[in-house]
Amino acid sequence: MRQSKMLIPTLKQNPKGAVALSHIMMLRGGYIHQVSAGIYAYLPLAYRVLEKIEKIINDEMQKIGAIRMLVPTLLPAKLWKESGRLSTYGPELFKLKNRRGTEYILGPTHEETFTALIRDTVNSYKDLPLILYQIQSKFRDENRPRYGLLRGREFLMKDAYSFSLNDKDLDRIYHNMDVAYRKIFDKMQLHYRPIIGNGGAMGGSDSQEFSAPAKVGEDTIVYSDKGDYQANLEMATSKCIAKKPDVAPKKLVKKSCPNTKTIKKLAKFLKVEPKQIIKSVLFIANKKKPVLVLVRGDHDVNPTKIQNFLGADFLDLATPSQIKKLVGCVPGYVGPVNTNVKILADDYVKYMVNTVAGANENDYDYVNVNPGRDFKVDAYGDFRLAKEGDVAPNGVGHLKFTPGIEIAHIFKLGTRYSKDLGATVLNENGKRVPVIMGCYGIGVSRLLSAIAEQQSDDNGLVWPISVAPFDIHIIPVNVKNDVQMNLALSLDKQLTKDGYEVLLDDRKKRAGVKFADSDLIGIPLRITVGRDAKQGVVEVKIRKTGETVKVRKDELENTIPIFRKELSNNK
Amino acid sequence: MRQSKMLIPTLKQNPKGAVALSHIMMLRGGYIHQVSAGIYAYLPLAYRVLEKIEKIINDEMQKIGAIRMLVPTLLPAKLWKESGRLSTYGPELFKLKNRRGTEYILGPTHEETFTALIRDTVNSYKDLPLILYQIQSKFRDENRPRYGLLRGREFLMKDAYSFSLNDKDLDRIYHNMDVAYRKIFDKMQLHYRPIIGNGGAMGGSDSQEFSAPAKVGEDTIVYSDKGDYQANLEMATSKCIAKKPDVAPKKLVKKSCPNTKTIKKLAKFLKVEPKQIIKSVLFIANKKKPVLVLVRGDHDVNPTKIQNFLGADFLDLATPSQIKKLVGCVPGYVGPVNTNVKILADDYVKYMVNTVAGANENDYDYVNVNPGRDFKVDAYGDFRLAKEGDVAPNGVGHLKFTPGIEIAHIFKLGTRYSKDLGATVLNENGKRVPVIMGCYGIGVSRLLSAIAEQQSDDNGLVWPISVAPFDIHIIPVNVKNDVQMNLALSLDKQLTKDGYEVLLDDRKKRAGVKFADSDLIGIPLRITVGRDAKQGVVEVKIRKTGETVKVRKDELENTIPIFRKELSNNK
């Protein structure tokens, strides 16, 4: 491929406004172009990378019996009414109407579309299991798009859906997907961690997320420094290592504690440690049900855990006026004693004795509060946000945090969607039962960013050979020099014939410009055809290591595979 | 591929509401599924056909140096303000806003997107010419979607855009596209006609449409029964064969002609032929400029020709109140005498003598009207709608009409978009000039319909081998019979190894059901493995001809290529 025919608008300078390394380098390398905030064009080089990624995904999907198809992006809003998500999905949902007033949404995901398809076309368990997938643009009305392809309003996803009669098939397919995803990311030489994900987000149970460690990542990966525990922070649990202190409960006392709305101020005022205080947080579930959550004063509530425990579509912090109405005080004095609100308490609270809690009265707290005696807890559980240093839930090692990019997510959905949409089949006994579902997503355009984030250096992108837009970049130093140009052309021809994808820089530019562009573009191997062309010698440069080797043209055929093998072995 | 793993929801009966053959058969064959009006899911079989079509397109695009990429579907409305099309495109444009109120459209085509891209990234003529293309979903808010994939609200298109410094390069690329398109459709064994298209629709000059003859087509293809003239009806011209009759002009007379608002009534009242009357039609161009168009009474005005002649974005028939205000009468008495409105007259009007025309006064017409003497014509031209039987414009043969499906369209755009959007480059003299553009579209999803429309029979679809979802359909008559099933499996394995794409019907269904499904699906070759399996003999059936041949399993390897060659030779 002649470089002059491609649109590769490289940039010498870092573009304004871009902060993520991948974003900067994909702009500078001429891979992407912003059309509007959070919306990008994939220029020819990026499109080639996408094709490689698609091929890797397709190959692995095929191996596990997943079948590709394509559903529309423009979906009737009434379909999402059936699942309830039209109102629960939130402001990220793009909505529009046609000229007749019919309401549509732009699909951010397609559980409903595929569930309705199965409902309308499959009648018997004999036609199951089925695994269907597509690769397609998805839409999210991000309030603050950022980091290039990482958080955009239009993006490419592979989304797969499985339909089976029973959980056994679901478990098998879920496992196969897990394995397939690992192979996919391994092929791309991507560092990733399979972590426990938030299944509740899709209304299902089990869920695993694949997160690619990267500084710019918005995930917090929680992992054990010794064991194999790995989870997204929103799901991360830790072992409760508290013990009931051998102390007799004292008499409950209401105490004036003015201006101590925070745990810190209250601890100082009472001369106790924060962990001797109960932190009480009032939430409103599903826009109407109040729930009071208690954690130890040095812990934080993890709202995701509360939401999943309650199975709530919405969970909001109570506003000051709601707090006033429900418990009768200003924020900062809320507590579990003398209240009718449902109480969820973190496991650590169970072990607290003679503790402190708000009195639901302005400027007053209770001291010598004892759970069980002074208030009833509706349910104990792990409701706290995990912290670095916590003991891993299996007791092996301590938790550490690292940022990551969510690149994929698999979910066991069960009957969450099939029940609402009425997707049933006749089972072996002729009885109608809802189909069991799973859904399995990969952020395809996001993978470009994740790979670029992990692999770029100061000079530009460094693509792994499996997804690089080309295998070899041939650069004749001086295209007006016939010897150089003829050798470059013959190498291009020969290597293309050998099955390599070759980009030939035939532009009349200075060598320095071409080398800088080549580094920015990041093709794994570069062949420079310069002065030594007279002797039939070229220079091969490995983009990743910077290593250069002079090679005779007739030895290239043997040399290239060696370099490629080396590059495909290391991550 | 095991059929049991695929979603192929065939239908025994014709679905309600579907009238087009292709629509019926793609629904019945389990290829597509309606998600909402005019919006379809491409099920696994259709997706495979799409992949084949894409590959054929990609191969030919690559040969002419076109480079694939991908732009977003969600476009900022302000981009279309720059070209002016936000207001002129009409109600087919889907519009929406994000949560912040920013306006977007869903791209029905991407002249603006690509022009802005070139504006933002290309600075010098040295980086031209460029040919970029993509295959992607497009959106049109069709008021009345119909005929399945033929006229939908979301559809797949290949759209290419060329950018060059000069017309010479544009002409060359346009020619290459023309040739490539012919190869593409030839490979698909599609009957098509390259016809003169409406370049004005995209704001350009030259344009050629590719139309696939089919009963359900909404194009009217106009062609000469002898010569090679072919055009879309909206652009079709014919030779004006009128001669000035050797008659002296008589005195203009105003005559009372009550209740003769139509040409037919007036002709009857005056006892003349319609062709002795001038038909006067008042239009409003661009929402404000009136223009009176005259054609012979037996002809009709072709509004497309008027619109292109005027270069108008809008052309509407004048309403009764506009007519009253502009010429002072009710519709039916409008005429060219005594009016200040701009007059365009069809060439045939020039040759009319002592003709009849409305007097711009209720119930009155003029007789003995003579163009030139009694009214001034601002411009003569071919403004009439071509009719069957007209002499072809080059004089060779007479015009015939046939319905067709618009499958592709190529346009020379010139600087229509580059000027408005400021897409300029520095030319050889260091001067900024707007880039010269062309655009080239193929209706990818529509091709499915066009092929199905031309190739289906009463039993279902009949795919040409180049686009068929599979090459061979193997049907073991009884999957519980080990001899049959083992032979079917080994043939599947062998033929797949030989490079064929094989669908194996492993479903436990009655043979009759499987054969009927096979006909509906329309794979070119079917191998039935039945009783003769014991003797190692199978039956090969050619879907297109219905021909069946018994073949020994070890002869299949030689037989299949012969059948395939036969099938790829005929259209």
- Our count of domains for chain B comes to 3
Q: Are residues A317 and A230 in the same domain?
A: no
Contact A68/A559 with Cβ under 8 angstroms? no
Q: Confidence class of residue B530 from pLDDT cuts 50, 70 and 90?
A: very high
Contacts of A30 in chain B (CB under 8 A): 121
How many C-beta neighbours within 10 Å does residue A93 have? 20
Of B99, B113, B131, the CB nearest to A91: B99
What the block records as the tokens of B33 is: 């599924």
Q: Are residues A306 and A439 in the same domain?
A: no
Predicted confidence at residue A571, as pLDDT, reads 52
- Of A96-100, A198-202, B62-66, B217-221, minimum mean pLDDT range: A198-202
Q: Confidence class of residue B200 from pLDDT cuts 50, 70 and 90?
A: confident
Mean confidence (pLDDT) of chain A: 96
* pLDDT tops 60 at residue A313: yes
Tell me which residue has tokens 């900022």: B76
- The interface residues of chain A toward chain B in range 63-102, judged by CB-CB distance below 8 A, are 65, 67-76, 79, 91, 94-96, 98-100, 102
Strand partners, B391: B398
Q: Are residues A284 and A341 in the same domain?
A: yes
Choose the mutation target among A67, A89, A149 for the interface with B, i.e. most B CBs under 10 Å: A67
Q: Confidence class of residue B202 from pLDDT cuts 50, 70 and 90?
A: low
What the block records as the tokens of A229 is: 């525990």
What the block records as the tokens of B348 is: 């045939």
What contacts A485, CB < 8 A, 6 or more positions away? A476, A478, A479, A506
Total residue count of chain B as it appears in this document: 571
A508: contact with B, CB 8 A cutoff: yes
- Label the pairing between strands B399-414 and B207-213: antiparallel
How many C-beta neighbours within 10 Å does residue B534 have? 11
CA B94 to chain A, closest CA, distance in angstroms equals 7
- B158 inside domain: yes
Q: Confidence class of residue B568 from pLDDT cuts 50, 70 and 90?
A: confident
Q: Decide which of A423, A453, A483 is a domain's last residue.
A: A453
- A351 inside domain: yes
- The interface residues of chain A toward chain B in range 108-127, judged by CB-CB distance below 8 A, are 113, 116-117, 120-122, 126-127
- In angstroms, rounded to a whole number, what is the distance separating the alpha carbons of residues B485 and B492? 10
Mean confidence (pLDDT) of chain B: 96
Predicted confidence at residue B201, as pLDDT, reads 66
Q: Confidence class of residue B569 from pLDDT cuts 50, 70 and 90?
A: confident
* pLDDT tops 90 at residue B395: yes
Contact: B130, A7; criterion CB under 8 Å: yes
Predicted confidence at residue B156, as pLDDT, reads 98
Provide the strand spans (E) within A69-175.
74-76, 95-97, 103-106, 130-139, 154-164
CA A149 to chain B, closest CA, distance in angstroms equals 12
Domain CATH for B296:
3.90.960.10
Q: Are residues A76 and A187 in the same domain?
A: yes
pLDDT in tens, B422-435: 999 999 999 999 99
Residue A392 DSSP class: P
Choose the mutation target among B16, B31, B70 for the interface with A, i.e. most A CBs under 10 Å: B70
Q: Decide which of B423, B453, B483 is a domain's last residue.
A: B453
What contacts A87, CB < 8 A, 6 or more positions away? none
pLDDT in tens, A48-106: 999 999 999 999 999 999 999 999 999 999 999 999 999 999 999 999 999 999 999 99
Contact: B9, A121; criterion CB under 8 Å: yes
- The interface residues of chain A toward chain B in range 464-483, judged by CB-CB distance below 8 A, are none
Choose the mutation target among A3, A7, A435 for the interface with B, i.e. most B CBs under 10 Å: A7
- A491 inside domain: yes
What's CA A151's distance to the chain center, in Å? 10
How many C-beta neighbours within 10 Å does residue B561 have? 12
Q: Are residues B231 and B290 in the same domain?
A: no
- A1 inside domain: no
* pLDDT tops 60 at residue B11: yes
- B394 inside domain: no
What is the percent of chain A where pLDDT is above 70?
Answer: 99
pLDDT in tens, A103-158: 999 999 999 999 999 999 999 999 999 999 999 999 999 999 999 999 999 999 99
Dihedral, CA atoms, A57, A58, A60, A65, nearest 10 degrees? 140
Half-sphere exposure of B121 (CA within 13 A, CB side): 27
Contact A189/A196 with Cβ under 8 angstroms? no
Predicted confidence at residue A51, as pLDDT, reads 98
Domain CATH for B168:
3.30.930.10
What contacts B166, CB < 8 A, 6 or more positions away? B436
Contact A112/A82 with Cβ under 8 angstroms? yes
Strand partners, A193: A211
Q: Are residues A40 and A167 in the same domain?
A: yes
Q: Confidence class of residue B62 from pLDDT cuts 50, 70 and 90?
A: very high
- In angstroms, rounded to a whole number, what is the distance separating the alpha carbons of residues B250 and B240? 25
Contact B317/B281 with Cβ under 8 angstroms? yes
- Among the residues of A365-479, which ranges form H helices? 416-421, 444-455
CA distances from A495 to A1, A52, A546 (A): 11, 19, 22
Predicted confidence at residue B570, as pLDDT, reads 60
What is the maximal distance between C-alpha atoms in chain A?
A: 98
Predicted confidence at residue B162, as pLDDT, reads 98
How many C-beta neighbours within 10 Å does residue A288 have? 7
pLDDT in tens, A195-223: 999 887 666 678 999 999 999 999 999 99
Q: Are residues B132 and B223 in the same domain?
A: yes
Q: Are residues A78 and A144 in the same domain?
A: yes
What contacts A545, CB < 8 A, 6 or more positions away? none
- In angstroms, rounded to a whole number, what is the distance separating the alpha carbons of residues B111 and A1? 25
- B241 inside domain: no
The whole domain housing A438 covers 8-236+400-453
Q: Confidence class of residue B205 from pLDDT cuts 50, 70 and 90?
A: confident
Q: Are residues A204 and A97 in the same domain?
A: yes
* pLDDT tops 90 at residue B475: yes
Contacts of B70 in chain A (CB under 8 A): 41-42, 47, 50
User: Is omega for the bond preceding B129 within 30 degrees of 0, making it cis?
Assistant: yes
Q: What share of chain A is helix, strand, coil (3-state, %, to 5)?
A: 30, 30, 40
Contact: A70, B139; criterion CB under 8 Å: no
User: Once rounded to an integer, what is the mean pLDDT over residues A554-562?
Assistant: 94
pLDDT in tens, B15-29: 998 999 999 999 999
Q: Are residues A230 and A274 in the same domain?
A: no
Q: Which long-range contacts (CB under 8 A, 24 or more apart) does A58-61 make?
A: A60/A180, A60/A181, A60/A183, A60/A184, A61/A131, A61/A133, A61/A158, A61/A160, A61/A180
Residue A37 is inside which H or E element, if any? none
pLDDT in tens, B477-501: 999 999 999 999 999 999 999 999 9
Contacts of B74 in chain A (CB under 8 A): 36, 39, 94, 106, 139, 153-154
Q: Are residues A262 and A304 in the same domain?
A: yes
Contacts of A121 in chain B (CB under 8 A): 7, 9, 30, 33
* pLDDT tops 60 at residue B571: no
Contact: B72, A35; criterion CB under 8 Å: yes
Q: Angle, nearest 10°, between helix axes A21-28 and A444-455?
A: 100
- B465 inside domain: no
* pLDDT tops 70 at residue B344: yes
CA B191 to chain A, closest CA, distance in angstroms equals 27
A321: contact with B, CB 8 A cutoff: no
Full DSSP string of A159-213: EEEEEESSHHHHHHHHHHHHHHHHHHHHHTT---EEEE--GGGGT-S-EEEEEEE
More confident residue, B520 or B203: B520
pLDDT in tens, B277-326: 999 999 999 999 999 999 999 999 999 999 999 999 999 999 999 999 99
Contact A95/A77 with Cβ under 8 angstroms? yes
Contact: A70, B91; criterion CB under 8 Å: no
- In angstroms, rounded to a whole number, what is the distance separating the alpha carbons of residues A482 and A494? 18
Q: Confidence class of residue A570 from pLDDT cuts 50, 70 and 90?
A: low
pLDDT in tens, A406-424: 999 999 999 999 999 999 9
Contacts of B30 in chain A (CB under 8 A): 121
What the block records as the tokens of B17 is: 């509401």
Choose the mutation target among B54, B71, B119 for the interface with A, i.e. most A CBs under 10 Å: B71
CA distances from B364 to A163, B251, B565 (A): 75, 16, 71
Q: What is the 3-class SS of A255-324, one letter each residue?
A: EECCCCCCHHHHHHHHCCCHHHEEEEEEEEECCCEEEEEEEECCCCECHHHHHHHHCCCCEEECCHHHHH
Predicted confidence at residue A200, as pLDDT, reads 73
Of B6, B33, B67, the CB nearest to A117: B33
Contacts of B117 in chain A (CB under 8 A): 7, 33, 35, 41
A172: contact with B, CB 8 A cutoff: no
Q: Are residues A35 and A165 in the same domain?
A: yes
- In angstroms, rounded to a whole number, what is the distance separating the alpha carbons of residues B563 and B554? 16
Type of residue numbered B491: L
The three-state secondary structure class of B67 is strand
> Considering only alpha carbons, which residue of chain B is nearest residue A41?
B71
pLDDT in tens, A273-294: 999 999 999 999 999 999 999 9
Contact: A143, B96; criterion CB under 8 Å: no
User: Once rounded to an integer, what is the mean pLDDT over residues B199-225?
Assistant: 89
- In angstroms, rounded to a whole number, what is the distance separating the alpha carbons of residues B16 and B13? 9
Residue B498 DSSP class: T
Domain CATH for B490:
3.40.50.800
- A445 inside domain: yes
Residue A367 DSSP class: E
